[in-house]
Amino acid sequence: MHVSSISLLAFAVASVHGHGYLVKPSSRSRLATEAGKDVCPECAIVEPVNSWPDLDAAQVGRSGPCGFNARVSNDYNQPGPAWGQSPVVSYKAGDVVDVQWCVDANGDHGGMYSYRICQDQAIVDKFITPGYLPTVAEKEEAELCFRKGLLKCTDVSGQNCGNNPDCPPGQPCQRTDWFSCGSFANDVKCKGVDRAPLNSCYTSTAGGYTVSNKIKIPNYSDCGFAGINQSGCEGKGCCWKALNPNPNNKPWCYKKA
């Protein structure tokens, strides 16, 4: 997914064994499934994973930001024949965007989830360069980048951004910037967000439920334009860096952290 020339969007689920995938905008898992290259889009997960009650405790490992499906041997972190070749949608600063993921009925364990943006073009390029497969270390590097770009639930007025009912008091999951599913104990779970019927989205295991929200695209600092030189970049108070790998053979002007 494309936000600007230097941004990608990631979707993260923090639960025990949550099975699902991003459907709006179309994730690489969805694109592959629609092209007949995947038979279980909800299977692009890593498990077992311990990410509760500390939402950022889990290591992404080989799954990376785009997912790894061992069932069909698809590593979605590398562009493939039906995914990663071009942006699926473009947004501009300030846009309020409809986002949606699909949770499998047999893999709905409640918990919390988030949407994030990575602005480090040097990292992003490794996941959109044809023929290049990022290493596990590079996948972890991307995860850290996405953690810096959390798109908060509270950025869009009118959304339900309360604490998760299954999160014990005083634990790291007590936060309202992530999105939350309903109570696991009361069988509300993630399907309770939309309360949509079974098979409102596709999963191969037990049928899926949609989980819908809105995010707001931030107004990031403008650090230049196509063709800007080093002095012009630094004159804006931004940083200049040569990229490697660099598919466009151009340096990158980016804002300071």
Say if residue 204 is in the same domain as residue 235.
Answer: no
Rounded alpha-carbon distances, angstroms, from residue 233 to 5, 47, 50, 61, 224: 15, 43, 42, 35, 6
> Are residues 31 and 87 located together in one domain of the fold?
yes
pTM score of the predicted model: 0.82
* Domain span at 231: 223-257
Beta bridge partners of 24: 100
Would you state the structure tokens that stand for residue 255, as one six-digit string? 């804002």
Residue 56 within a domain? yes
| Residues 137 and 183 reside in one and the same domain | yes
Q: Do 237 and 146 lie in a common domain?
A: no
- Same domain? For 187 and 212 the reply is yes
Cα→Cα distances 184→165, 175, 205, Å = 8, 18, 20
Number of domains in the chain: 2
pLDDT tens digit at each of 257 positions of the chain: 323 333 455 555 444 345 899 999 999 999 999 999 999 999 988 776 777 899 888 888 999 999 999 999 999 999 999 999 999 998 888 899 999 999 999 989 889 999 999 888 888 899 999 999 999 999 999 999 999 889 999 999 999 999 999 999 999 999 999 999 999 988 899 999 999 999 999 999 999 999 999 999 987 666 666 567 777 777 767 777 765 554 454 566 766 65
Looking at the fold, whether 154 and 205 belong to one and the same domain comes out as yes
* 72 in a structural domain: yes
Q: Where are the beta strands (DSSP E) in 191-241?
A: 208-216, 239-241
Residue 232 neighbours by CB distance under 10 Å: 15
Clarify whether residues 108 and 231 are in a common domain. Answer: no
**Does one domain contain both 250 and 138?**
no
Q: Is residue 127 domain-shared with residue 206, that is, in the same domain?
A: yes
Residues 172 and 237 in one domain: no
Q: 256 and 194 in one domain? A: no
3 domain residue, yes or no: no
**Same domain membership, residue 132 and residue 36:** yes
